[in-house]
Chains A and B, each alone.
Chain A
Amino acid sequence: MVETTRGPTLEPGLRGLVTDLASDQRAFKNVPWSKAMMWLFLLSDIFIFACFLVGYMQVRITTTVAWPNASDVFALELGGRHVPLLLIAIMTFILISSSGTMALAVKFGYEQRRLATGGLLILTALLGASFVGMQAFEWTKLIGEGVRPWSNPWGAEQFGAAFFLITGFHGTHVSIGVLFLIIMAVKVMRGSLAAGHPGFLTRRRGRYEMVETLGLYWHFVDLVWVFIFAFFYLW
């Protein structure tokens, strides 16, 4: 692979945008193609989640029945006190923390610090897994209280459908992310990225940029949760 046209010859700003897009071979300078492809995948994912959230907005606007109060629905009884949205708040902080550890993992990856990177990836995976665990707890609690995609005890029937679809799709993303974090942690720990060993599936040589590409996915999962937290739980 020829890695040329780097460095100080690249123009910044708007002129750079024009020359980049008009240039031969590569429009996205200074970006490995795997990272550019991850960005394009995330772009498509943005549209999927946006369609779900807009659909949720639509059913919530159009229903003539009162929408269940999320603050009460997701409240927990703690020592006899009624704490609104407690579990959701904890989940939010856990996911933000996992994003923080992921960002540090990417940084230490580029510094070739194998143990720090692998450890942080494992920590990120653990935080992600605990997030999924809490979501499973939340689903169990709500199903036990009689929430179904077609009905619930508190109000508009569409509440259950929107809840299970949106949080389920997000939880699936987190679960897949945890899987890939574990795979990447193993690769980092055994030195496959530093040595440039080919991967077991694609045979592409290991590089520490892979950690950043995986990081993009993980931060995106956190990003989607920011919107779900605001629109579904707080609105």
Chain B
Amino acid sequence: MAHGETQQHPIGIYLWVWFLLFVLSVGSYLVDVVGLESYLRWTLITLFMLLKAGLIIAVFMHMVWERLAIICVVLVPPGVLVFLMLLMAIEGNHVLLSRLAYFGP
């Protein structure tokens, strides 16, 4: 096995990330149990979601130890999905308003 191709890291970092993922999951579950509503709820859900996703990609999938070439190939293209989401949200609101105006109750 060629040296430099393996991803060997201390076991502690995996256990820490595992623990943090549990804590963050409890956090996002509590958002629902406590019954937070509206913007506070959405902000917390998104925050916990992105933190969990970041930890999984960075440590479990070894992304922090990879070279920039592969990091960019994997993480840059999904950026366009943010634009897709924004455009569809705008479009969706337009469709909703049209439905309420023409097919409303």
To the question of whether A and B form a pair in one complex, the answer is yes
CB contact between B74 and one of A3, A39, A111, A219 (< 8 Å): that residue: A39
Q: Is the CB of B3 within 8 A of A6?
A: yes
Main SS class of interface, A? helix
CB contact between A226 and one of B32, B56, B67, B69 (< 8 Å): that residue: B56
Main SS class of interface, B? helix
Within 8 A of B (CB), among A40-57: 40, 42-43, 46-47, 50, 54, 57
A47 to B70, CA, bound (A): 17
CB contact between A110 and one of B6, B28, B93 (< 8 Å): that residue: B6
At the interface, yes or no: B96 with Cβ under 8 Å from chain A?
A: yes
At the interface, yes or no: B49 with Cβ under 8 Å from chain A?
A: yes
CB contact between A43 and one of B56, B74, B85 (< 8 Å): that residue: B74
At the interface, yes or no: A216 with Cβ under 8 Å from chain B?
A: yes
Using a CB–CB cutoff of 8 Å, the interface residues on chain A facing chain B are 3, 6-7, 10, 12-14, 16-17, 20-21, 27-32, 36, 39-40, 42-43, 46-47, 50, 54, 57-58, 61-64, 71, 84-85, 89, 92-93, 96-97, 99-100, 102-104, 106-107, 110-111, 207-209, 212, 215-216, 219-220, 222-223, 226-227, 229-231, 233-235
